[in-house]
A = this chain, B = another copy of it.
Amino acid sequence: MVLASGLGGAFPVLANSFPAKVPVPADNPMTPQKVALGKQLYFDPRLSLSGDFSCDTCHRVMGNGSDGLPLSFGVMGRVDVPRHTPTVYNAAFNTVQFWDGRAKSLEDQAKGPLMNPVEMGMPNAKAIVDRLEQIPGYRKEFGLVFGQKDSISLEHVVQAIATYERTLITPDSPYDRYMAGDKKAMNTAAVAGMHDLHTMGCAACHAGMMFDNPGTKMGTGFFQKFPLQAHNQECVAYVHKYDLDKDPGRFNVTKNPADEHDFKVPSLRNVALRAPYFHNGSVASLPTAVRIMAACQLGKSLSDKQVHDIVAFLGDLTGKFPKETMPRLPQTPGKAIMMQVAKLETASEALNNPK
């Protein structure tokens, strides 16, 4: 089904449903055992400096895959997390990870928060491995998944976590059912909104099966400047109100002035559940976010009907979340707990006062 039109016909075709398979890197094949280990690690607060902060603390699997806060708190109450937490759901389909695309894969992404002093705060890879080596259950499970000897490494930790994350996908939205032939799956407003999305130019960026890139390859990333139409009158007001021009975005990664204020285009899947919006989590409502996108990216002002229709369509991009069982986490022996606590103060001090 080809819906592309408008904007000189230059933007790509809307792919027609949720991907049949999740992309899996050749060097990290999925196995049920690796998924199970990755799930344990994902929910394990011992992967943080304080021992009470897991991947799930910010990327809530039981919720929308983020924590619903504009900006998350970091380990031990840190309040300097700079950007809104993206959802883990469907992150497996992102061509790059983080708002500024600084990781090429889920594996690379997972290393970031683990060792970021304002997130999980582990000082280095060795500290992570040391922590897990203290837990006999993990020594055994890493051995079974990755080989029998010395299997606990940062690479294996992030491979397991990424493997679990590849199961966190949400197929079967009303839109997918509509595209599969069930014309009752979306109402008239949503269908009108879907057409608006294309005729107005949103799909220049929000294209493809995940509505986040026009055919970009995994690991490459699709970026866009935000705000792009910074001189549009309506946009100027939004930028001022929501503080939208403060973050240098991808420039921080490349140091190329052309990348200033460039961000990875986020997927529109489940966007109706993902308030608050944008890299700084500053915008509460989806209708406002849609108006901001139109003004600041397309230089267009939307009618109330257009906003209503587009929001109706975006609501129909909410998929079905997987039914998850809880992992059981292996036990830390008492002695190892006390060693961790003794190190905590030193490590915390070092992180807060880097040399």
Contacts and interface: CB of A to CB of B under 8 A. Distances in A.
Given A63-B329, A328-B62, A329-B63, A70 B341 contact: yes
Contacts of A321: 328
A334 B67 contact: no
Interface in A65-81: 67-70, 72-73, 75-79
Using C-beta atoms within 8 Å of the partner chain, give the interface range for chain A. Answer: 35 or more
Q: Of A50, A76, A77, A327, which is in contact with the most chain B CB atoms at under 10 Å from its CB?
A: A77
A337 to B, nearest CB: 6
A337 B284 contact: yes
Interface string A257-295: 000000000000000010111000001111000000000
A123 interface: no
Interface in A325-354: 325-329, 331-335, 337-338, 341
A317 to B, nearest CB: 15
A152 to B, nearest CB: 19
Interface string A97-137: 00000000000000000000000000000000000000000
If over half of A's interface residues share one DSSP class (helix, strand or loop), that class is named, otherwise mixed; here it is loop
A275 B329 contact: no
Nearest to A288: B334
Contacts of A277: 334
A61 interface: yes
A277 B337 CA distance: 11
B76 A51 contact: no
A323 B328 CA distance: 9
A222 B270 CA distance: 51
B338 A276 contact: yes
Given A67-B45, A73-B52, A335 B60 contact: no
Nearest to A284: B334
B77 A51 contact: no
A329 B324 CA distance: 13
Number of this chain's copies in the assembly equals 2
A136 to B, nearest CB: 12
Contacts of A69: 50-52, 337, 341
A63 B328 CA distance: 6
A63 to B, nearest CB: 5
B78 A334 contact: no
A70 B276 CA distance: 36
A52 B323 CA distance: 22
A57 interface: yes
Contacts of A51: 67-69
A58 B62 contact: no
A67 B46 CA distance: 9
A43 interface: yes
A45 B73 contact: no
Contacts of A334: 275-277, 283-286
Nearest to A69: B51
Interface of A: 43, 45-46, 50-52, 57-58, 60-64, 67-70, 72-73, 75-79, 273, 275-277, 283-286, 321, 323-329, 331-335, 337-338, 341
Given A73-B77, A276-B337, 4 more contacts: A45-B67, A52-B72, A273-B331, A275-B333
12 contacts: A52-B58, A57-B57, A63-B328, A63-B331, A68-B331, A69-B341, A70-B341, A76-B77, A273-B331, A275-B332, A285-B334, A324-B326
